[in-house]
Structure 1
């Protein structure tokens, strides 16, 4: 249980850091890309308003600072690579200005311009030679059209570099944090470990201490019966002693299960174990006037501890018999699915009042559907918790479902040869 809590603590902490890093770094990247996109738009607007040219006379320092911010100088505009294409009313190219680009030839410029002209979009992007070009199409009042193409690589380079740095730093930070958390997680949850340890020690020690007075009470009751004969009081005393003894044994067993009991995991004959458990309960169940049916496939093999697997079957059958309706039916099913390579063990019992019950709580320790604890059904809410612990130790899954007034507990394990 402690190891499970430790892994969950590490996973949740790592996920929390991941969300924080994603928010911070994602926000930084988003702002960076937005500013770069705005810069592309501003440069295209400047070029479009000056017929595809940037010169000292047509562009003033005031214009640059108004569009790009107070920290931008006029000289910075001359770093960009661009070219312009002009069309007449009929859609024929009248002029190509490629004096500010060196990597795109005239034929490529013509093809890109015709493609952009046919799109009939005011803004767009196109690729050439592995480089992305943003373009702006402007229609003049006289019907002529100009298309300005701008190489985005210079502007987007800083944003792309920031993305690489942020991704690298984020991954490294997350890995370092996870490693440090793994190394120090035991210290972080040490108070919980100590509290759990003291709780288990208290249960075990108290259990052993309580067994002595219970044994004395049982002995005194038997002596009283030998002297004065059996009465309803001595019978009640013996029943309560037996009840307390079972409770103490279950508590001690549960504490030991949490301490990772020694198990010999090997390939076992699940069919034989289930059949043996079913045979031991058949007489008890039928004697109480309930129906009992089994459908156990022969030769089913699973990897588990043989003794604990048999104990698991006993827990499920005891629970089914205990909560089965009077005159109801208990069923046992064991089968294997060769397609999914899974083994299913299912124990069911009729339970007419179980329609509105939350079955996810059945595996909680000390949980009982009868919260008043006045039910005549014996039990302490420990058995199914022990069953879940055993199933997890066998690397399997356990679940509960309700169908046709019948409560089913289903265990799925991996099939083995």
Structure 2
């Protein structure tokens, strides 16, 4: 159980860090991308307002940028841009290519005429694997098309994103390494508390057995003297009940200590049938119907004794809480593609909508809130033991209520069998 808790602690801690890293890197990337786009649009606007030329003096009417200093005439020289002026009535196209070397005047004319036919006054165009942002602005009798090479800006943005992701990945790996190395120390108080709890249950169980034995012996001695009475009968019943509770608690504590399980290839169909045959008379004697459906020759890598105990616990629990005249069902069948085995135990229970199946595996959880004592009442420990056994097998167990029945379903990994052997 400690290893299971440790794994969950590592998973949840790592998941929280991943969420934080993604939030930080995502925020930085988004801000950087938006800032780059704003810068491109701002430069295009300045150039378009100056008819594709560099402003002669101070740059006026600059667009407001997010966390971006104001442009100066000198700062605009860092950008690569070109422009074309197209007369409205036709005529020669004027080209300004002083700030670009990779695009010829002829290609600038072609690009300007191509984008002029598009809808909208700005966008992007791809030329020789380079993306150029453009903006179109009409003036008196002419149209100015300004192009800006945005590859430098977007490359810088991509580099920031890549560096952020790389640093986040390195931080995550470093964090996971430290967490795995020191996680046991981090949960040491929980381990110690769990260990003290197990020791207390075991020690208390042994200490309680002695006075219970004395009470039982005194009761039997009294019966020899005065005969069996209602008082002595009640005393012996309570002694038996407490002894059973102590044994269950000790067994549960031992299961949590990761006991040595003799896992081997077991024919679980045979074991399930054997348990069903042993309890069938008890179930029918309590006034319940019993339905059994076991697929033959299903095998799994389990401990045979613990699997026998698992089926017994589930079947006994179903019988205890089955409605009078109801049906107890036990089925064992292969899962999808024969990769798993499903053990299902059901019992009729009309008041199932008043209980919470998710709490069935809690220790000492009982459906009857008053915990009234009757002949079939349990202690609320059996299903906790069943859950622990299934976990030690590496399987899953869950409970649900459907169609007037409580359903306990166990899923185990099926074992592959070489049919050429034996």
| Structure 1 residues not aligned, in runs of 5+ | none
2:270 to 272, 277, 289: 272
Q: Say which SS state the counterpart of residue 124 (structure 2) adopts.
A: strand
Superposed CA deviations along residues 232-284 of structure 1, whole A, max 9, x for unmatched, are 11111111011001111111111111111111222210100100110110111
Aligned residues: 413
* Separation in 1, partners of 2:156, 2:18: 24
**Deviating more after overlay: 33-42 vs 245-254:** 33-42
Shift in alpha-carbon separation, 1:108–1:65, aligned structure 2, 3 A: closer
Structure 2 match to 1:76 = 75
* Separation in 2, partners of 1:85, 1:42: 19
1:218 to 211, 216, 219: 216
Shift of 1:62: 5.0
* Mapped contact 1:350–1:407 kept (Cα < 8 A): yes
* Mapped contact 1:330–1:348 kept (Cα < 8 A): yes
Structure 2 match to 1:415 = 414
RMSD over aligned Cα atoms = 2.1
Structure 1 match to 2:226 = 228
* Mapped contact 1:297–1:335 kept (Cα < 8 A): yes
Structure 2 match to 1:89 = 88
The correspondence of residues 14-413 of structure 1 with structure 2, limited to 5 A, is 14-54=14-54, 58-63=55-60, 73-89=72-88, 94-106=93-105, 108-142=107-141, 144-337=142-335, 339=337, 341-374=339-372, 376=374, 377-413=376-412
Shift of 1:163: 1.5
Q: Say which SS state the counterpart of residue 303 (structure 1) adopts.
A: strand
Structure 1 match to 2:420 = none
Shift in alpha-carbon separation, 1:118–1:348, aligned structure 2, 3 A: same
* Mapped contact 1:269–1:299 kept (Cα < 8 A): yes
* Mapped contact 2:59–2:71 kept (Cα < 8 A): no
Superposed CA deviations along residues 120-142 of structure 1, whole A, max 9, x for unmatched, are 11221222233221111213354
* Separation in 1, partners of 2:63, 2:413: 70
* Separation in 2, partners of 1:338, 1:70: 63
Superposed CA deviations along residues 92-139 of structure 1, whole A, max 9, x for unmatched, are 872333332222345654453344223211221222233221111213
* Separation in 2, partners of 1:91, 1:178: 68
* Separation in 2, partners of 1:331, 1:250: 25
* Separation in 1, partners of 2:91, 2:347: 85
Superposed CA deviations along residues 63-115 of structure 1, whole A, max 9, x for unmatched, are 49886765754322112111213333368872333332222345654453344
* Separation in 2, partners of 1:393, 1:92: 86
Q: Say which SS state the counterpart of residue 364 (structure 1) adopts.
A: coil
Superposed CA deviations along residues 341-382 of structure 1, whole A, max 9, x for unmatched, are 221111111111112321111111221121221253411111
Q: Say which SS state the counterpart of residue 360 (structure 2) adopts.
A: helix
Superposed CA deviations along residues 16-54 of structure 1, whole A, max 9, x for unmatched, are 222222233322222222222111111101110111111
Shift in alpha-carbon separation, 1:119–1:292, aligned structure 2, 3 A: same
* Mapped contact 1:83–1:100 kept (Cα < 8 A): yes
Shift in alpha-carbon separation, 1:112–1:257, aligned structure 2, 3 A: farther
Shift in alpha-carbon separation, 1:90–1:380, aligned structure 2, 3 A: farther
* TM-score, normalization by structure 2: 0.92
Shift in alpha-carbon separation, 1:257–1:114, aligned structure 2, 3 A: farther
| Structure 2 residues not aligned, in runs of 5+ | 418-422
Q: Say which SS state the counterpart of residue 339 (structure 1) adopts.
A: helix
Q: Say which SS state the counterpart of residue 371 (structure 1) adopts.
A: coil
* Separation in 1, partners of 2:213, 2:107: 100
* Separation in 1, partners of 2:42, 2:320: 78
Q: Say which SS state the counterpart of residue 261 (structure 1) adopts.
A: coil
Shift of 1:200: 0.6
* Mapped contact 1:64–1:72 kept (Cα < 8 A): no
* Separation in 2, partners of 1:90, 1:362: 85
* Mapped contact 2:42–2:62 kept (Cα < 8 A): no
Structure 1 match to 2:5 = 5
* Separation in 2, partners of 1:18, 1:337: 34
Shift of 1:340: 5.2
* Mapped contact 1:64–1:73 kept (Cα < 8 A): no
* Mapped contact 2:46–2:62 kept (Cα < 8 A): no
